[in-house]
């Protein structure tokens, strides 16, 4: 059953169209991520779902019931929205988290139980008596999430919840959001422009651009075979344009720099292709393989991201490769190391 359904929803602010004829469903218990560039309408979309904004035209349904002025207040009690810019009230952390519960008139013991549980989930146990305004930015965002968790709403709307967080808070917030969706089956809609986090957390993507839904699907389907719109938004790495010639049903694509790669599709002429960094195997020597692509190259830069390392590899054209940090250390890699890139023809996706 759908929890939220938008039918031909548009929203105008004067002459500015924030949303244009958006039709979208969100299933109960689903984790949906809305991605898109700044100004694409993501925050407006969430506010309409939360009944904080009224659409200029179109209809919104919550559990099959059309949203209007008569039931908007009732809907707001069943969902909560965490904004990118955290709102922190005066007083202690505990009082901040408890504010919404007390406003709803819950018994004191119930308030204490919910507040304690929510604070533990976001790693703020023991912070009850601290001044909320003295917390770091990451801790304040965790407080904001705890306040939402304590309410126990059916629908959680998150607007860039991990933007500008320190590493500890980022890890805690991601774990808390994932736990809430998987363990309590709370429906989550998250707006972000961070594709890596969206892919890690959600079941489905919606790409919003200039107020319109231009693409929808699973992270695997969208990122494995990205459209031009997704490639443009994501600024995907390993996107190459070249001229393809067909040899026995295989496309041989000259992408410049003396590099030719083979693709499993058969399309002659000018093409643009994408190879995911995770699809490339890195080795110190040539390997016996059925993969049609193997390129001798050198490491030009290293980006250590903790558990994974992303490398820029110069094979005549620059490729990005992602490997585990353990593999990076075991191979003894450094800038300038000679390596071989290996990837299948089926990993070369046409966009």
All structural domains of the chain with their residue ranges: 2-225, 239-350
Residue with tokens 């003396």: 258
Q: Which of 198, 186, 135 is nearest to 162 (CA)?
A: 198
Residues pairing with 24 in the sheet: 6
- Is a pLDDT exceeding 80 seen at residue 148? yes
- Is a pLDDT exceeding 70 seen at residue 84? yes
| Pair 44, 53: CB distance under 8 Å | yes
- Residue 174: predicted pLDDT: 86
- Is a pLDDT exceeding 70 seen at residue 196? no
- Residue 158: predicted pLDDT: 92
Query: What Cα–Cα distance (Å) separates residue 242 from each residue in 37, 183, 245, 251, 274?
Result: 27, 47, 10, 11, 11
d(CA 133, CA 156): 24
Across the range 153-166, mean pLDDT stands at 84
Across the range 17-38, mean pLDDT stands at 92
C-alpha R_g of the chain? 24
Q: How does pLDDT run across 220-273, given as a tens digit for each residue?
A: 777 767 777 777 776 668 889 999 999 998 999 999 999 999 999 888 999 888
User: How confident is residue 164, by pLDDT bands cut at 50, 70 and 90?
Assistant: low
- Residue 27: predicted pLDDT: 94
Q: State what percent of residues in the chain have pLDDT above 70.
A: 97
- Residue 37: predicted pLDDT: 79
Across the range 180-186, mean pLDDT stands at 88
- Is a pLDDT exceeding 90 seen at residue 167? no
- Is a pLDDT exceeding 80 seen at residue 165? no
User: How confident is residue 12, by pLDDT bands cut at 50, 70 and 90?
Assistant: very high
User: How confident is residue 96, by pLDDT bands cut at 50, 70 and 90?
Assistant: very high
d(CA 80, CA 148): 6
- The fold of 239-350 is OB fold (Dihydrolipoamide Acetyltransferase, E2P) (2.40.50)
Q: State what percent of residues in the chain have pLDDT above 90.
A: 48
Across the range 301-326, mean pLDDT stands at 90
DSSP 171: H
**Which class does domain 2-225 fall in?**
alpha beta
User: How confident is residue 26, by pLDDT bands cut at 50, 70 and 90?
Assistant: very high
- Is a pLDDT exceeding 70 seen at residue 51? yes
Across the range 160-175, mean pLDDT stands at 80
**Average pLDDT over all residues of the chain:** 89
| Pair 192, 219: CB distance under 8 Å | no
């Amino acid at each position: 059953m759908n929890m939220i359904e938008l039918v031909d929803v548009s929203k105008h602010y004067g002459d500015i169209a924030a949303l244009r004829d958006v039709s979208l469903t969100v299933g109960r218990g689903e984790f949906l991520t809305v991605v898109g560039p700044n100004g694409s309408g993501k925050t407006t979309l969430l506010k309409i779902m939360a009944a904080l904004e009224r659409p200029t035209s179109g209809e919104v349904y919550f559990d099959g019931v059309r949203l209007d002025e008569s039931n908007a207040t009732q809907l707001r009690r069943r969902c909560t929205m965490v904004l990118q810019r955290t709102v922190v009230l005066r007083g202690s952390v505990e009082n901040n988290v408890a504010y919404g519960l007390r406003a709803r008139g819950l018994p004191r013991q119930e308030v204490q139980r919910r507040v304690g549980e929510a604070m533990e989930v976001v790693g703020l146990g023991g912070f009850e008596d601290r001044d909320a305004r003295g917390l770091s930015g990451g801790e304040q965002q965790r407080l904001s999430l705890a306040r939402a968790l304590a309410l126990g709403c059916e629908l959680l709307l998150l607007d860039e919840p991990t933007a500008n967080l320190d590493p500890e808070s980022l890890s805690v917030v991601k774990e808390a959001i994932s736990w809430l969706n998987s363990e309590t089956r709370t429906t989550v809609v998250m707006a972000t422009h961070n594709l890596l986090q969206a892919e890690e957390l959600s079941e489905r993507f919606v790409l919003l651009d200039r107020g319109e839904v231009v693409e929808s699907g699973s992270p695997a389907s969208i990122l494995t075979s990205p459209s031009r719109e997704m490639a443009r938004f994501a600024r995907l790495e390993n996107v190459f344009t070249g001229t393809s010639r067909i040899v026995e049903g295989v496309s041989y694509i000259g992408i410049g720099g003396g590099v030719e790669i083979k693709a499993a599709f058969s399309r002659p002429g000018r093409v643009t292709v994408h190879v995911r960094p995770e699809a490339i195997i890195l080795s110190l020597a040539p390997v016996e393989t059925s993969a049609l692509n193997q390129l001798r190259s050198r490491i030009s830069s290293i980006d250590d991201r903790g558990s994974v390392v992303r490398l820029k590899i110069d094979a005549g054209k620059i490729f990005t490769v992602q490997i585990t940090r353990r593999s990076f250390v075991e191979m003894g890699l450094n800038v300038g190391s000679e390596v071989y890139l290996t990837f299948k023809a089926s990993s070369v996706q046409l966009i």
